[in-house]
Every structure is written in structure tokens, then in C-alpha cells.
């Protein structure tokens, strides 16, 4: 593992008027590491994810990102052009609802190929063959390449969204409850696929989930949030086996009962 973090968050805060979305959040993400942010709904985990991914403006604090050229700027220093370029090349964002991350009336092939075209790929055959490779990697038959996502099942849509994000070989992926909207039977397959791709590609991932099972399966490290604050963070196995904060103990106990 690399000796320098790819992402570094310090004293991050987001306020909505008097209401605190999240506050005093500090943590690092290392290359190739999967960090899970867990907590109940309303704990501030999605707010945190949206702030880090610049989809939402923070109120204060620092968010630094290691660029491909090793610069380590605060994201607030980047211009809109540079930020948008990051978002469509170096980053990925997997939404809970695939319809938020896909163009539902555009073919699967174009959904996967869009990022390639956005960064200047101008060879139709090449774009198409890479799209079809990626479809197969996420276990969608290449023969479906010209079909619209509206004709896909929920699990297929989610896998298509993952392929669409990974085609440019990003280094950091944000995931917001990626299996939250799926049937339990479908969840396992998507999780398996994610685990395999993340380790094959050496991706850094920040995943938000309320499901400790998902966190345990995918992440090496875990951040537990409550009322907008981090109450505990550490190696996933350690936190799960020996939770120190009473809230974490409660969370862990509740999944064990399930």
C-alpha cells in the first residue's frame, strides 16, 4: 500500500442554517482501500459523501485529493472545469437508484461509452468494443449492448451503472447504498462483483451504507457516524468484533440479532 493518502478530510462541517449535517469529520483514504461510512439514516453519512464528492458545498474544513500528477490540492482550489474533468475521468459515483446515474433512454453501449467520448475518444468501433468488454465484465451479455436500460432488471441496471463508472479506469469511487434498492437475492451478486472489481482494479472506494453486512464484506476500514459526528473508526474487523462506542455496540448487536 502506498505511503501517501489519496484523499484527506480534515474538520469537515456542513450546516443547513442552524442544523448540523455533519461536523468535525477527519479521516484519510489510502490508495486501494475501501472505507465504509455506516450509520442510521439521518446520521449525516450521505451529506458527508456529497460534500467530499463536491456534489454539495461544504460549510468549512478541508478536503484534499491526490491528483494523477501527485499534486494534493484542496478541492475548493480547483476550477469548475478541472473538477468536472475529475468527476468524469478519475472518479466514479454509484447511486443507490441506477436511474440517477444512467441515461435511461440511451443504449447500454452509449451509457458505458459516454465517458470515453467525453474525454475525446472518436473511434466508434473502439468505443463499442470497450463498451462490450465492460458489459461482459459486469456480467451483462454483450448482445444487450444496443438495448435501453429501461428494459433491464434492477440488478442489471446497477451493474451497468458500475460499468459506466469504471470504463475510464477511475482511481476513486463514491458509492451511496449501492445495493440498497435491490432484492436480497440480487444484492449478493452485485456485492460479489463489486468486491472482485475493486480488488482487480486496485480502486479506492468510499461507500455509504446502513448495512453492516455490506461494510464487512467490502471494506477494510469503517467509520461509524451518529448525529453528524464520527463516533468510532478503525479496521472493519476490529470494529465489528470489538466495538468500543456504545452506539457501535448497539449497531453490531442489531445485525447479529438479524
Q: Which residues bind other proteins (CB under 8 A)?
A: 17-18, 80-81, 84, 88, 103, 106-107, 109-110, 113-115, 117-119, 122-128, 145-146
Q: Which of 190, 122, 123 is nearest to 155 (CA)?
A: 190
CA distances 181 to 30, 53, 62, 125, Å, are: 28, 21, 32, 34
Nearer of residues 15 and 189 to other proteins, judged by Cβ: 15
CB of 228 to other proteins, least distance (A): 17
CB of 107 to other proteins, least distance (A): 6
Nine-digit cell at 188?
449478493
CB of 116 to other proteins, least distance (A): 8
Strand order, beta sheet including 19-29:
19-29, 7-16, 60-65
- Between CA 108 and CA 115, with CA 114 as vertex, the angle to 5 degrees is 125
Nearer of residues 169 and 238 to other proteins, judged by Cβ: 169
CB of 77 to other proteins, least distance (A): 17
With contact defined as beta carbons under 8 Å apart, do 39 and 254 qualify? no
Q: Are strands 19-29 and 7-16 parallel, antiparallel or unpaired?
A: antiparallel
Nearer of residues 131 and 218 to other proteins, judged by Cβ: 131
CB of 192 to other proteins, least distance (A): 28
The whole-angstrom separation of Cα 160 and Cα 60 is 35
Nearer of residues 40 and 147 to other proteins, judged by Cβ: 147
Q: How crowded is the C-beta side of 121, counted as CA atoms within 13 Å?
A: 20
Nearer of residues 2 and 60 to other proteins, judged by Cβ: 60
Nearer of residues 117 and 250 to other proteins, judged by Cβ: 117
CB of 196 to other proteins, least distance (A): 28
Amino acid at each position: 500500500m502506498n505511503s501517501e493518502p489519496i484523499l484527506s478530510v480534515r474538520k469537515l462541517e456542513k450546516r443547513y442554517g442552524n442544523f448540523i449535517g455533519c461536523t468535525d469529520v477527519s479521516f484519510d483514504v489510502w490508495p486501494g482501500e475501501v472505507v465504509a461510512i455506516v450509520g442510521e439514516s439521518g446520521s449525516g453519512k450521505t451529506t458527508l459523501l456529497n460534500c467530499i464528492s463536491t456534489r454539495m458545498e461544504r460549510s468549512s474544513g478541508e478536503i484534499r485529493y491526490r491528483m494523477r500528477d501527485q499534486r494534493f490540492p484542496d478541492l475548493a482550489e480547483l476550477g469548475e472545469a478541472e473538477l468536472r474533468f475529475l468527476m468524469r475521468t478519475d472518479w466514479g459515483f454509484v447511486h443507490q437508484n441506477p436511474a440517477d446515474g444512467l441515461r435511461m433512454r440511451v443504449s447500454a453501449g452509449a451509457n458505458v461509452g459516454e465517458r470515453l467520448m467525453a474525454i475525446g475518444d472518436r473511434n466508434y468501433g473502439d468505443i463499442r468494443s470497450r463498451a462490450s468488454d465492460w458489459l461482459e465484465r459486469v456480467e451483462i451479455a454483450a448482445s444487450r449492448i444496443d438495448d435501453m436500460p429501461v428494459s433491464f432488471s434492477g440488478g442489471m441496471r446497477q451493474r451497468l451503472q458500475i460499468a459506466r463508472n469504471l470504463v475510464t479506469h477511475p482511481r476513486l469511487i463514491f458509492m451511496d447504498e449501492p445495493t440498497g434498492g435491490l432484492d436480497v437475492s440480487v444484492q449478493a451478486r452485485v456485492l460479489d462483483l463489486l468486491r472482485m472489481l475493486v480488488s482487480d482494479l486496485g480502486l479506492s472506494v468510499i461507500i455509504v451504507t446502513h448495512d453492516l453486512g455490506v461494510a464487512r464484506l467490502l471494506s477494510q476500514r469503517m467509520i461509524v457516524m451518529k448525529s453528524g459526528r464520527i463516533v468510532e473508526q478503525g479496521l472493519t474487523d476490529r470494529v465489528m468484533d470489538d466495538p468500543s462506542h456504545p452506539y457501535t455496540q448497539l449497531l453490531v448487536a442489531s445485525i447479529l440479532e438479524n
